[in-house]
């Protein structure tokens, strides 16, 4: 069964420094997608970045980059130049393969990492 593991319940980072949030996954499916979402205290889920299992390069979106190591089954999120507004919960998620019509498309979420940015 597919599984996402985030081993860091909480992380602290100094403002303007970089931080890495860990995510490992388990799947026997050769084709999958990995997502990172940010959840501020208000509760909404904000999509940050996506990595496909066949993508040759690591994904980047502004200050966010994904350190994708396929052989190790890890997809760590790197936030550069942390800002106070980055304080939030961060969730790693994996999307299942869609071979079977009525069983695809679901996101499987990790437990999340709470990031606190210190001024």
Partner 1 sequence: DGGITQSPKYLFRKEGQNVTLSCEQNLNHDAMYWYRQDPGQGLRLIYYSQIVNDFQKGDIAEGYSVSREKKESFPLTVTSAQKNPTAFYLCASSTSWDRYNEQFFGPGTRLTVL
Where on the chain is the footprint of partner 1 (CB under 8 A)? 4, 31-33, 35, 37, 42-47, 50, 52, 91, 93, 95-98, 101-107, 109-112
For 85, the 3-state DSSP assignment is helix
Q: Which is nearer to partner 1, 57 or 119 (CB)?
A: 57
Taking the complex as a whole, the smallest distance from the CB of residue 15 to partner 1 amounts, in Å, to: 25
Q: Which is nearer to partner 1, 16 or 106 (CB)?
A: 106
Nearest to 30 by CA among 95, 97, 93, 92: 97
Task: Give the contacts of 22 (CB within 8 A, at least 6 positions apart).
Answer: 6, 7, 8, 74, 76, 113
Taking the complex as a whole, the smallest distance from the CB of residue 68 to partner 1 amounts, in Å, to: 14
């Amino acid at each position: 069964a597919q599984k996402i593991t985030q081993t860091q319940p909480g992380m602290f980072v100094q403002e303007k420094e970089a931080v890495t949030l860990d995510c490992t996954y388990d799947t026997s499916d050769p084709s999958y997608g990995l997502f990172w979402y940010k959840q501020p205290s208000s509760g909404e889920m904000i999509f940050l970045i996506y990595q496909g299992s066949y993508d040759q390069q690591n994904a980047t979106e502004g200050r966010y980059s994904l350190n994708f190591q396929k052989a190790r089954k890890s997809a760590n999120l790197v936030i550069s130049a942390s800002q106070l507004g980055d304080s939030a919960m961060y969730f790693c998620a994996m999307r299942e393969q869609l071979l079977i019509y009525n069983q695809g498309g679901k996101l499987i979420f990790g437990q999340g990492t709470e990031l606190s940015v210190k001024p």
